[in-house]
């Protein structure tokens, strides 16, 4: 927002309060830089915009003052993304640490609530199928509805998807929009190519909106697929909203339980890179087809 817009908003509000002839004044913005002063630290001001709390300098910000050995803290921070070295002011967190926490929490909430745009799916030639959940609110409050396909979704699958493939791949938003949109281009195309290069018969990939893991059982039974792969957004953590999981199951039935699934989780740039995960999943599929099992049974 530029300075003129801010001045216009201020003038409008003051006019509604009955103030007239309000002269424009300079706008001062506070930035993160601080300098020592008598009695403590004071903020410096600048005409520049406020800093972006998503920058790496804030993610790796060392808030511990007067550490006995600063390098020990920095070494610890370099080895983990956990919130260490944030410091404190008395019993309270430092301002920068608190703002980072609030920003990360907001980001996590956003990725759960937002929806994948249909136009984004069309650009990638992904057919869209929906669970029995009618919208995101119902999906979050009624997990059972996300485990079943609606009638329109069943009809689309039966009329548009290849029957009885060796491998069926489904992409779903789950609990994270970011997990789908950020990782798609680096995992789905390499995964499909890897499966085909391995000589496997791959079904028609599609997108399941408002899906839960259990929905892959119904999809597998509808298509009579041997191995069913569901790439689904994980529940986001603070500051990490892009994590994807792959749930793999061999010939699911109505009696399938969760221990029948094999899971590869934490797929994102800061965990298992998507391209690497695609290669791991291809090897997993070949193993499942060879042993005709998944989950605990695959380990026996």
Map tokens 């993160």 to a residue. 32
8 A C-beta contact, residue 293 and residue 250: yes
Known binding residue 213? Answer is: yes
Q: Would you list the DSSP string of 36-61?
A: EETTEEEEEEESSPPPPTTSHHHHT-
CA dist 46 and 41 (Å) reads: 16
List beta partners, residue 123: none
Angstrom distances, CA of residue 82 to CA of 59, 75, 85, 269 = 10, 13, 9, 16
Dihedral (Cα; 93, 94, 99, 104), 10-degree rounding = -60
Classify residue 272 by its DSSP letter.
B
**CA–CA distance, 175 with 211 (Å, rounded to integer):** 9
Find all residues with CB under 8 Å of 167, minimum gap 6, and list them: 195, 200, 201, 202, 203, 225, 226, 227, 228, 229, 285
- Length of the chain in terms of residues written: 300
Backbone angles phi, psi at 212, to 5 degrees: -115, 165
Rg of the Cα atoms in the chain:
25
What separation in angstroms does the CA of 61 have from each of 7, 74, 98? 34, 9, 12
Tokens describing residue 259: 């221990």
Contacts of 293 by beta carbon, 8 Å cutoff, 6+ apart: 250, 300
- Annotated binding-site positions for adenosylcob(III)alamin: 213, 234
């Amino acid at each position: 927002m530029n300075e003129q817009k801010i001045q216009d908003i201020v003038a409008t509000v003051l006019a509604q309060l009955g103030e007239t002839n309000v002269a424009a004044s300079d706008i001062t913005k506070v930035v993160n830089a601080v300098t020592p002063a008598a009695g403590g630290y004071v903020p410096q001001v600048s005409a520049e915009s406020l800093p972006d709390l998503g920058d790496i300098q804030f993610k790796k910000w060392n808030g511990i003052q007067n550490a006995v050995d600063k390098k020990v803290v920095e070494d610890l921070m370099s080895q983990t993304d956990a919130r260490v070295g944030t410091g404190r002011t008395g019993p309270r967190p430092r301002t920068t640490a608190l703002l980072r926490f609030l920003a990360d929490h907001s980001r996590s909430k956003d990725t759960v609530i937002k929806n994948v745009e249909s136009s984004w799916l069309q650009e990638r030639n992904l057919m869209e199928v929906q669970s029995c959940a009618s919208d995101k609110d119902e999906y979050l409050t009624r997990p059972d509805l996300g485990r079943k396909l609606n009638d329109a979704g069943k009809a689309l699958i039966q009329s548009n998807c290849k029957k009885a493939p060796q491998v069926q791949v489904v992409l779903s938003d789950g609990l994270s929009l970011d997990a789908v949109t950020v990782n798609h281009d680096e995992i789905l195309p390499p995964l499909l190519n890897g499966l085909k290069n391995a000589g496997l018969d791959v079904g028609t990939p599609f997108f399941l909106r408002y899906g839960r893991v259990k929905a892959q059982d119904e999809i597998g039974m509808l298509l009579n697929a041997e191995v069913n792969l569901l790439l689904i957004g994980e529940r986001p953590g603070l500051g990490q909203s892009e994590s994807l999981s792959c749930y793999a199951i061999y010939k699911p039935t109505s009696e399938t339980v969760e221990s029948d699934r094999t899971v590869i989780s934490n797929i994102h740039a800061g965990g298992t890179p998507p391209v690497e995960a695609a290669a791991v999943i291809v090897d997993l599929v070949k193993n499942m087809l060879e042993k005709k099992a998944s989950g605990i049974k695959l380990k026996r």
